[in-house]
Structure 1
């Protein structure tokens, strides 16, 4: 979507932000809190790793005493903190979709959109502003938190941050997190236009995101060719198991090196959904206002 230009963009952008200052403040506050929290978690990383390190009884060969390792509590704090941030990023599309569906639906239900259209802002520019400004904020904010989350996760030890293929970890450590948020925004806007009601728009948006979220979770293993090993004698580290032969001699899985390809394919699918929903929203609006 192109950036709005000239004087016509200014009132449209102000029209987006003015009635939603509370949501904007909440978003900026959440970003600030997440930033501070992740910086704190990064500072705990070394101590947390010590809490899950190998140990011995008695201590020997450079291994610490097991009772000393068990006395360390930073690993629990670190693990819970990373899980909180990752879980929040994983489900971000849902509040985004609820907000977009409710906002668009309410403006149509209360006829405030019609008022804007009579004050020099065309329906197309009105919807473009409704999508462009939040999309920019979501992209910048979500992308920043993802980068910080990866940084706070340091070496990605699955004992502390979860295996790379876990739903929350997978979404929260790559570009797919931004794609989920943008898909939620587009689906929410389309739902609001379809229903023209606040609650209905939010409900339909949530349902659409729930279907999309679960479909991608279910089919993620099929988004990239798997690897098969025969006569497995040593398990690969942090692997995404897809299949296992009955006689336990053949393992089909995704190695950790498949993280990026899976991320890119899933992101592409989500952005395609977002583009399709956005296009449908503009076509629907044009049809209704023609």
Structure 2
């Protein structure tokens, strides 16, 4: 009997939230379609425009800009889709049933609270995982199809997340955090707002500290440092009396090269330094952030089950 009920739970969740599932599928489909249309249809015009501009001092770059903008918009929507997942989990998925009391009916039909919550989480988790994988693969293809038309923007927050499994990790974390928030507050609208804000704060904190998630590379030079365009520069400055100094606003050295060198020497400047992440650091940084987000998701999920068990014991 219980096995039959358990098999029926996923169907019930699908039936209750089919509108949200359809909306998610449509969202993924539209973003993929935009990528395909941009790369397959508009890229040729952008490439011709780029070639023309390479040979002429005055030219129009609107097509090239539009190409990069569309790819960028897709990355932005894909990255921050976890905010919608958090609002859905806090509201329609869990909060509404707790506020209306309809969950009690399910618990009297031979479904334990733990099984109810497991089914509530498993079905949307599968949906966001599959949709997220599709978005990651599509965005990586679109972002890398014509790199000359795009900037070296792997450090941008949305691009950074959308190019790898962090996109799925944020969605799963949003699902867990929204569920926990709904169980704590048991009110739909407050749970929606708090879930949204908590996930937004998590993303802001991790993005602010992203450069510290993996050891950066430090380069030293007595004459100056020029980093490649793809490098993520974290810090740079001068070496004065053997110490790194970022601000030398009061130092002004003008004149010939010899006079400038003499001026810098008198000020104690012995060289320059730059702390940066090369493009090869994308995966270490990305995977560390993914692990942190998944750890938060696991903690929130564990707390949700424990809270539910405590309140229904």
Same fold (TM over 0.5): yes
Q: Which residue of 1 aligns with 2:72?
A: 83
Q: Which residue of 1 aligns with 2:234?
A: 242
Q: Which residue of 1 aligns with 2:170?
A: 180
Consecutive unaligned residues in structure 1, runs of 5 or more: 57-63
Q: Which residue of 2 aligns with 1:45?
A: 43
- 3-state DSSP of counterpart to 1:228: strand
Consecutive unaligned residues in structure 2, runs of 5 or more: 238-245, 249-270
- 3-state DSSP of counterpart to 1:154: helix
25, 28, 32: which one aligns with 1:31:
28
Cα deviation 1:158-204 (Å, max 9, x = unaligned): 75255101111111111111111111111000001011110111122
Pairwise CA distance, 1:208: 1.1
CA contact (8 A) 2:43 2:67 kept: yes
Is the alpha carbon distance of 1:72 and 1:244 closer, same or farther for their aligned partners in structure 2, counting shifts above 3 Å?
closer
Q: Which residue of 1 aligns with 2:56?
A: 65
Pairwise CA distance, 1:51: 3.5
1:10 aligns with 2:1: no
Is the alpha carbon distance of 1:41 and 1:200 closer, same or farther for their aligned partners in structure 2, counting shifts above 3 Å?
same
Q: Which residue of 2 aligns with 1:61?
A: none
Cα deviation 1:201-254 (Å, max 9, x = unaligned): 112211211220111011100000000111244322211111112368100010
1:107 aligns with 2:107: no
Q: Which residue of 1 aligns with 2:279?
A: 256
Pairwise CA distance, 1:117: 0.7
Structure label with greater radius of gyration? 2
CA contact (8 A) 2:39 2:145 kept: no
Pairwise CA distance, 1:47: 3.8
Q: Which residue of 2 aligns with 1:278?
A: 301
CA contact (8 A) 2:225 2:273 kept: no
Residues paired across the two proteins, number: 277
CA contact (8 A) 1:82 1:161 kept: no
Deviation above 6 Å: which 4+ runs of structure 1?
none
